[in-house]
Amino acid sequence: MKLENKIDQLKSMDVQVVAISKSDPQDSQKTKNKTKGFFTFVSDPSGSFINSLGLLDKGGNPFTGDDSARISKMLVNKEKKILWVRFTENNRVRIKSSNLISELIEGINKYK
């Protein structure tokens, strides 16, 4: 199940999803349109913000050898403290939405 199908559950948990990618703004907009605009998209073509989060994979694009963003999920509280991080070891294997929701609930409950 796609994450956008879980938007009501995420909202009830007071979770806001922000997607950050090295894509140019036009590509990010296309992706946002595909998800019906449920998430905030941040375009970071230079990778500077992605790098500041420790998520830049130097030469990580298997097709072009360009830098890419590591596939990851982070739970950040309102004080901007990172509470939980989950990295994907293989960019082709993504976490299931139901598993992500379970891990988010666990992460949120840990810091209540």
Tell me the pLDDT band of 32, cut-offs 50, 70 and 90: confident
Q: Is the pLDDT of residue 1 over 70?
A: no
* Count of structural domains, the chain: 1
Question: Which domain covers residue 29, as residue numbers?
Answer: 3-110
> Length of the chain, please?
112
CATH assignment of the domain containing 39: 3.40.30.10
pLDDT (0 to 100) of residue 31: 85
Q: What is the DSSP letter of 72?
A: E
Q: How far is 23 from 65, CA to CA, in rounded Å?
A: 15
pLDDT band at 66 (very low <50, low <70, confident <90, very high): very high
Q: How many whole angstroms separate alpha carbon 22 and alpha carbon 47?
A: 6
Q: In sequence order, what are the residues at sequence separation of 6 or more whose Cβ sits closer than 8 angstroms to the Cβ of residue 16? A: 10, 40
The stretch 33-39 carries a mean pLDDT of 80
Rounded CA separation 72/20 (Å): 10
Strand-pairing partners, residue 40, are: 18
